[in-house]
Structure 1
Amino acid sequence: MLDDTLLDDPAALQRADHDRALLSLAGAGARVRTALRQADAAGLDRLRPDGRPRTVLVAGHGSALTAAEVLAALVGSATLVTPLPPTEAAAPRADRAGAPPVFTAGLGWQLPGWAGPLDLLVISSADGGEQGLIGLAEQAYARGCAIVVTAPAGSPLAEAALQVRALPLPYVAGVLPDEGRPAAPAAEPDLPAEDPAALWSHLTPLLALTQKLGLTQLPYDALPGVADLLDAAAVRCRPDAAAYTNPAKGLAARLAGTVPLLWAEGPLAGAAAGRFAAQLADRAGRPALAGSLPQVLTAHRGMFTGQLGAGADPDDFFRDRVEEPDPLHLQVLLLRHLPGTAVGTAAGTAAGTVAEGEQDGPAEVTEDDERPRSFGASRAHRLAAAHDVRLTEYASTRPDPLHALADLVALTDFAAVYLGLAAAQS
């Protein structure tokens, strides 16, 4: 059982946050600005593309592949965007100091057989030491593909980018641990947890590049606006904000002791739901299933008729909340993008970040909301109600889809970290 009072103890949260995940998320907006500035300095502003690529392949692992899913949602059917995950894993060699090798160092990637001079390969890595990605760049060079590499300066992958005539873009790293604060040993040294804000270091150069190529039709200030929205989210979700005013803490408390089903309406919300499932696993050690309406209703239907769905009532007044452990039950979280509408009981507007008529961050959609729902959303509500499963709906009303994504991802990223930190202290 999660003790909700732990979420309102900033000192306890700081002690539990060994790798400074909250600080990393708080600096996400600054990382977006830095990535934009460094991408221009690397030559992106001087790029003069000659037509659009037939296909954009985005290679990497973790958040780099999430960035590819976001790009695919933004591009739509104009150009094919293909995430390129690793397809094999070999035993990596130990480094010269004798340290055990990181598992990702042994991953391997393979270009599709049809990839060639009409295609663009984007390789993105937070480490820059994966030999598999270096080999992929060499494959693409031999095939005549255009190549862009996002990696830390001075890394082996960044050096290899120069050899294959790729456009090198910098990867902006996060915060460093306090010098006087020893880092906690990782539970799995060869599979370390990913930086929770790494998504924005992968996504920002990728979107700046594709905007330059004409693949996305974002407003000129869309990416700087994302930085402002991430800053505003960091203020709303800061550790010293009480749980009743902090939407991320409230969401974390709501998901405690549940098996979350993360449903989404639309491709951008689908990317946010998949991201949330990954963060819950990585940061909170909690399993979650993500999917998009309407097909997720049939995929998850069987869970509602099993033990997790039948009779699960988290609001039972007479249940002994102290002596009796919480029963494990389903919890549905529905993420949506509803541009240009008023939603829920939104908080006040943060100056300079939210246009008139928009809410400050994603809002919970209440049951008395009178706007018509789509067929998929209506069916989701009926399915949850028929089996006594709580369904919570969050929606962003921002007109720009990228800004709506930033709303949903910022809220759920903070919620996953808070849930993990509170559970670690229970």
Structure 2
Amino acid sequence: MSPVEVDPGRLDDAEALAAADPADLLRCVASAAAQVREARLYTAEAGVERIAQGGRPRAIVVVGTSGSGFAGEMLAAVCGEGCRVPITTVRGHRLPGWAGAADLVIAVSGPGGTEETLTAAVEAVRRGCRLLCVGAAGSPLADIAVQAGMPFVPVRAAGPERAMLWGLTVPLLLAARALGLTDVTAEVLERTAGVLEDVSHQCRPASESFVNPAKQVALELAGSVPVIWGTSPMTGAAAHRFASRLAADAACPAVHGELPAAWHDQAALFDGPFGAGSGGSGGSAEEDFFRDRVDEPEPTRLSLVLLHDVEEHPQVTRRREIAAEFARDRAVPVVELTTRGTHPLERLAGLIAHIDYISVYLALAVGVDPSATIREPEERTP
């Protein structure tokens, strides 16, 4: 018996899906396009272009935890490796020691009250940094921005913070545009919203598993420990997002990385006990034939997920192909997801949307309530 009980039929049963998803996370994932359009309006109303006064900053520090931290990674991925200003994401209380008046700090918190983000935002004001705040209206983070006379972009809650990615990210992208660091225009944002709508249509709950790409991948990954490798900085950020959502939605552990470094650091996994478990017992064929396996649980196996960027480096393409062959030779299942589109934001959006649907469907397929991890553990005083 497998340690994870998978019920493929649940994914095609509308009533079962609704009962297993009490927080309606599938609806939250489907709100991505609306988040893009709404955030664009809120950002314009907030006058975010004010942060460009005084010229281009020396560096940008994005402060945020959970889904808010991913907004920083999304910004860096879209601006690209050639960005003229370094972009750093901080997920703790402290700003880098070098951050000062020449730098821009963007404090992001979906609920607007995350302790780490508030502490860093106050520190940014104390150091004289330029500051942009993004979070819930009427929150402590909004108060900090008002008191400091800095721009604040309100974000409407669309479920748990991890489901608010686009509402949190678009203000950062438009701020970068105001600074001349990216070409995310209104037209690009609308095309991106269209991509998100297309994925939502393909992956909608009413679409049956045999034609629904997210349900198919969820069932392929169920019961395994995914090793998720991106093939560029953009898809490397998506790999991190995937691993985090699998943990939060489906309580599923995963390993993530970016090729080519991930190959050197993690390829040994496929020759280890979890990799061997994918292909059999590790004994001889004769021993395996005569072993009574009725009462033996199936070992936990690995799966390899390759997030293929159409603009990856040619040498990385070769490494990706070798990695897929290497895994298949060891009977490790391989799933490949490919970006589509011309603009980096469109490519990233399609991939992230697919990933978010997969993680929720995986939770539902294995009987995990994806809303169970929404509430963060209460802090304990020492």
Q: When the two structures are superposed, what TM-score results if normalisation uses the length of structure 1? A: 0.77
Task: Tell me if 1:170 matches 2:154.
Answer: yes
On the 8 A contact 1:49/1:213 being kept in 2, the answer is no
Structure 2 unaligned runs (5+)?
Answer: 281-288, 370-382
2:38–2:167 CA contact under 8 A, matched in 1: no
1:61 shift after superposition: 0.2
Counterparts of 2:368 and 2:125 in 1: how far apart (Å)?
A: 50
- Look up the match of 2:310: 338
SS of the aligned residue for 1:308 comes to helix
Matched, 1:248 2:232: no
Look up the match of 1:328: 300
Matched AA of 1:223: L
2:89 corresponding residue in structure 1: 83
Judge conservation of contact 2:12–2:206 (CA < 8 Å) in 1.
Answer: yes
TM-superposed deviation, 1:196 = 3.9
Q: CA deviation at 1:258?
A: 0.8
- Which one of the candidate residues 104, 110, 115 is aligned to 1:126? 110
Q: 2:73 and 2:209 mapped to 1: Cα distance?
A: 32
Q: Please state which structure has a larger fraction of its residues in helix.
A: 2
**Following the alignment from structure 1 to structure 2, what is the Cα–Cα distance between the partners of residues 68 and 205?**
11
Matched, 1:400 2:349: no
Instruction: Choose between structure 1 and 2 for higher RCO, CA contacts under 8 A separated by at least 6 residues.
Output: 2
**Aligned-partner residue type, residue 150 of structure 2:** A
How well do the aligned residues superpose, as a CA RMSD in angstroms? 2.6
- Are 1:422 and 2:365 an aligned pair? yes
Answering whether residue 170 of structure 2 is matched by residue 204 of structure 1, we say: yes
Q: How much has 1:208 moved relative to structure 2?
A: 1.1
Match of 1:145 among 129, 138, 141: 129
The aligned counterpart of 1:378 is: 321
Measured in 2, the distance between the counterparts of 1:283 and 1:5 equals: 19
Equivalent residues in 2 for 1:200-279 (5 A)?
A: 200-279=166-245
Secondary structure in 1 matching 2:33 = helix
CA contact (8 A) 1:338 1:397 kept: yes
Deviation at 1:160, TM superposition (A): 1.6
Taking the aligned partners of 2:50 and 2:58, their CA distance within structure 1 comes to: 22
Matched, 1:302 2:268: yes
**What displacement does 1:47 show?**
6.3
Q: What displacement does 1:214 show?
A: 0.8
Q: Give how far 1:49 is off.
A: 3.5
| Aligned partners of 1:311 and 1:388 also within 8 Å | no
Size of the alignment, in residue pairs?
352
Cross-structure match for 2:334: 391
Contact map agreement 2:32 2:193 (CA 8 A) in 1: yes
Q: How far 1:415 sits from its partner (Å)? A: 0.6
Calculate the TM-score normalised by the size of structure 2: 0.86
Structure 1 unaligned segments of length 5 or more: list them: 87-108, 176-193, 341-370
**Change in 2 beyond 3 A, CA 1:390/1:321:** farther
Separation in 2 of the partners of 1:222 and 1:313?
Answer: 45
Measure how far apart 1:301 and its partner are. 2.3
**CA, structure 1 residues 133+307, in 2 after alignment: closer, same or farther (shift >3 Å)?**
closer
* Matched residue, 2:141: 157
